[in-house]
Amino acid sequence: MRDLLLGIDIGTSSCKVAVFTPEGEVAASRSAEYEVYRPKPGWAEQDPEDWVRGIYGCIRRIFEETDVKAEEIRGIGVDGQSWSAIAVDSDGKVLTNTPIWMDMRSQDICDRLTSQIGQDKIFGLAGNALKPSYTTAKIIWYRENLPEVYEKTDKILQSNSFLVYRLTGEISQDMSQGYGLHCFDMRRGAWDAGMARALGIRESLLPPIFPCTGVVGKVSREASEATLLMEGTPVVAGGLDAACGTLGAGVARPGETQEQGGQAGGMSICIDEYAADPKLILSFHVVPGKWLLQGGTTGGGGTMRWFEQNFADYERENGSGKPSLVQLNEIAQKIAPGSDGLIFLPYMSGERTPIWDPDAKGVFYGLDFSKTKGHFVRSIMEGVAYSLRHNLETAANAGAQVGEMKAMGGSANSLLWTQIKADVTGKRIVVPASDTATTLGAAILGGVGAGIYESCEDAADKTVHVTRTHEPDPANAEVYDRRYHTYLEIYAQLKDVMKERS
């Protein structure tokens, strides 16, 4: 009988469940999509029960449709999108949809709390400025706008800890997701009661903290019946999707860097000493004893997904037999670097690092009659690459130098897009198995918790294999440098107008 590991990824637009061998080979995988609800401008929320339905269905399909057997699963790891605020009552019932990381409704709360408590005091403890994307202000928003929900809330959970609860019946908070709450001491990895009171967060809402590789509990009888998993299978705390993807891309040691190509964009730099910067994001890595200095943008692979959904009817219906995204790549390939002056600002849901502007808007600049669909597609790829460069330069100014980057996420499947990122940033990019990096990272945590691996570093060495390499093309450096500085200037000139029109 095989030893296998199960990794579960709660993404923004879909979930993915994958089974791995200890060598990192995929034995089976399934995925399911779900909705992001946008009831008002600036709002973005999801129903956590949609995640459960999707994930449970994927697990059952793996056991029903493949040769994977439940008794072969030795450990389970769960990763999830950042900064949820899942309000559950004492029976574990979800009380309301959770605002997700793209939600910007609580800017006024952030401004008020920062003024009352002091920006330096908050940042000094949490290592992150107070912004509406984070969990903190969402909890206060519940208290002020949904008092009946707040009063009934027993615990506030993150996306992965919610699923761990549904699988095991045990409440937890993993280390890597602690940064979403500004009463989490980023140096000690512990709750700070004084800051919780200052923020107005009831301390009883905060779950017990577990290391990401720590076994929280075992699959319950109820979860076993719903998923076909073996009752008693160990489930670890898991962690942040970007951190698990970082581990699954092979970033486990200081100085190694992941480039994020999922719904969101950005990068994660592994460090072994505390180093916070107000323009970036600092979290614990899922690797014990390490942190991640991160750039996180709202416009990553999701920008291309938006374009494909709204403007690729021809590619979907022309009968070529090629996926629409492949066809979009082909027409973008025909356009010269720099997109003949068409520049895209990928601020499609406000923007996070490094500008932290909830009012920022997506912009196409440089339109004229010569521009084609190919120009739009390539400019989207280049705009996301410019946002990556902006974050890398901010990290460099903070003292975190990056050499090579390890790409992950669906965008890394595009050779063109990955090459553009290498050319724009001037960094060598290597690509492991990009589609499975996040679920692999989650599975590795399950494997460490179950004793399959000695450590996360040991697991990364055994499971992560580079599939291709992209070297920056010096011939494109000059045009991309010019376009990048124009990209920065467009936002600088328009940011006040964006605020006035929001």
pLDDT digits (tens, 9 = 90+) for 181-224: 999 999 999 999 999 999 999 999 999 999 999 999 999 999 99
Residue 435 has pLDDT above 70, yes or no: yes
The number of helix segments (H) and strand segments (E) in the chain equals: 17, 24
pLDDT bucket at 262, cuts 50 / 70 / 90: confident
- DSSP codes joined into one string, 311-363: H-HHHHHS--SS-HHHHHHHHHHTSPTTGGG-EEE--BTBB-TTT-BTT---E
- Right CATH for 301-431+472-501 from 3.30.200.20, 3.40.50.150, 3.40.50.180, 3.30.420.40: 3.30.420.40
- 83-157+173-206 adopts what CATH topology? Nucleotidyltransferase; domain 5 (3.30.420)
The encoded tokens of residue 467 equal 């599939």
Q: Which residue has the tokens 């923020």?
A: 199
Mean confidence (pLDDT) of the chain: 96
**Residues 114, 132: contact at Cβ < 8 Å?**
no
How deeply is 219 buried, as exposed, middle or buried, from its count of CB atoms within 10 A (0-12, 13-18, 19+)?
Answer: buried
Q: Please give the C-alpha separations between residue 80 and each of 168, 176, 177, in angstroms, as whole numbers.
A: 17, 11, 9
Residue 389, classed as helix, strand or coil, is helix
Q: What is the pLDDT of residues 348-397, one digit of tens each?
A: 999 999 999 999 999 999 999 999 999 999 999 999 999 999 999 999 99
- List strands edge to edge, sheet with 291-297: 281-284, 291-297, 265-271, 257-261, 405-408, 429-431, 468-470
The number of angstroms, rounded, from the C-alpha of 199 to the middle of its chain's C-alpha atoms is 25
Residues belonging to the chain: 502
> Among 32-46, 397-411, 436-450, 482-496, where is mean pLDDT lowest?
397-411
**Rounded percentage of the chain residues whose pLDDT exceeds 70:** 99
Segment 22-80, tens digit of pLDDT: 999 999 999 999 999 999 999 999 999 999 999 999 999 999 999 999 999 999 999 99
> Beta strands 45-46 and 98-99: pairing type?
antiparallel
- The whole-number pLDDT of residue 263 equals 84
The residue type of 269 is I
**R_g over Cα of the chain:** 22
Please spell the DSSP secondary structure of 103-121, one letter per residue: --TTHHHHHHHHHHH-HHH
Sorted by where each begins, the domain ranges of the chain are 83-157+173-206, 301-431+472-501
Is the pLDDT assigned to residue 407 strictly greater than 90? yes
Two domains, one topology: 83-157+173-206 and 301-431+472-501: yes
At 403, the pLDDT band (50, 70, 90 cuts) reads confident
